[in-house]
Amino acid sequence: MTAEPEATHMGESESARSGRTADDVDVYLYMYDLTGQRAKYLAPLLGVQCEAIWHTAIVVYDLEIMYGGDVLAFAPGESPFGAAMRIEFLGCSTVERADLLAYVSDELSPRFRVDNYDVFTNNCNHFTSALCEFLLGKPLDVSILQQPEQLMNAPV
C-alpha cells in the first residue's frame, strides 16, 4: 500500500497578501524516495536518521523537470518515479516559461549530463537546487543536498 503524497498549497488569501500577480507561477518540489519507503528500515542499520533517500524534481508551468542522467521533463506525476512521496510548495516565480526553458537548455543541460554525474557534487538534488535558485533566488534545503555525504559518513 502506497501512501498518498503530502501536498502543501498556498491558499488564495495567502497569495493576495504576498503581493502575487497574475504573471506569477507556482513552484513545487516533488520528492521521491529512492528506497521505495524502505529507508526507515535501513536507517537504524546505517546508524543515521533518514526518512528517505531523496530524488527531487521541480514542477513549474505544468512541467516536472528533473535530472536523471540527462535533463528530463514530464507532465507532473508522470515520471518513471511514479507518485511523489512528498510535494512541497516552494513559492511563486516571475520567470517566464521561455526564459525557464532557455536556462534549462543553455545552462543546466551542459552541467548535468550522464558523463558528469557525481553522487556528492552533481546529482539530481544539485540540479533541483540550481533550478530553484534560478526560479526563486534560493537553493534547495541543505539537508537534502548533504544526504549522500551523511550516508557515506554513517558509522556502519
pLDDT for res 6:
38
pLDDT for res 10:
32
Put the strands of the sheet holding 54-60 in their side by side order: 6-7, 86-93, 25-33, 54-60, 63-67, 71-74
The series of mean pLDDT values per 10 residues for the chain, 156 residues long, is 36 44 88 70 58 84 92 91 91 96 96 87 91 95 73 55
Calpha distance 16→24 (Å, rounded): 12
Calpha distance 4→84 (Å, rounded): 8
pLDDT for res 137:
96
Q: Is 85 helix (H, G, I), strand (E, B) or coil?
A: coil
pLDDT for res 49:
63
Could you tell me the three cell numbers for 29? 518540489
Nearest to 124 by CA among 67, 43, 85, 72: 67
- Helix runs in 7-156, H state only: 12-17, 39-46, 97-103, 109-111, 124-136, 142-145, 147-152
Calpha distance 142→26 (Å, rounded): 21
pLDDT for res 151:
55
Could you tell me the three cell numbers for 16? 493576495
pLDDT for res 2:
38
